[in-house]
Amino acid sequence: SLHFLFHLPLIRFQISVSKSLSTFLYSTMSALCDVVPPGVVTGDDLIKLMDHARLNGYAIPAVNCTSSSTANSVMEAARKAGCPVIIQVSNGGGAYMCGKGLKTSESATIGSVALAMHVRSVAKYYGIPVVLHSDHCAKKLLPWFDGMLKADEEFFAKYGEPLFSSHMLDLSEEPDEENIAICVEYFKRMAPM
C-alpha cells in the first residue's frame, strides 16, 4: 500500500504531462494537415513537414521497420499520438522483410521496396504524414541503394514522385574525396526526381 501511494503522484504527473503533450500534438497535427496531406510525403511536402517540425519545436520519431506489421504498428501509434512519423528500412531490415528463404543478393532491395509499396498503399488511411526513408547505406551496400533508386525512378515515371521520401548514403568510412565524388554521382541521378 505504501509503495502504491508513493508512486501515485508520479503516475498522475506522467498522465498529466502525457495529456498536455497529446493536446499539443493534436493541435499541431490539425495545423499540419493544413500544410501537408496525410500519407507518404516527398519533395516540397517533405520540406514543409520538416519546416513545420522545426518551427513548432518538435521532433519526428524514426522507427526501423522489418515487416508490414511493424510499419502498421508505427503508423497506428503515430495516429494515436497525432504526430507525423519516419518509417525507416535498413539493409538488414529489407532482407528480413523479403524472407530468409529467398537466397539472393537482391533480397535487401526486394524487401525494402516491398515495405515501401506497402506503406505507400496504407499510410494515407492513417491520416498522418509519413516519411519513407532508407537508413545508413555504406559503400559495401551500394547495390542495395542502386536497387532502391531504380524503384524510385520507376515509381517517379508512373506517379511523378519517388517511391521513398529520402535515403541516407553514409560514406563516412571512406576518404573525403571518394565520399564526395560518389555523392555527386548519386545527386546527379536523384536530381530529376
Contact 84, 132 (CB under 8 A): no
3-state secondary structure 49-78: HHHHHHHHCCCCCEEECCCHHHHHHHHHHH
Contact 141, 106 (CB under 8 A): no
CA dihedral (113, 119, 121, 124) positive or negative = negative
Residues known to be catalytic: 135
CA-to-CA dists, residue 49 to 20, 36, 138, 185, 186, angstroms: 22, 7, 27, 27, 24
- 3-class secondary structure, 173: coil
Contact 130, 41 (CB under 8 A): yes
CA dist., res. 164 & res. 147, Å (int): 12
C-alpha cell at 77: 501509434
C-alpha cell at 122: 496504407
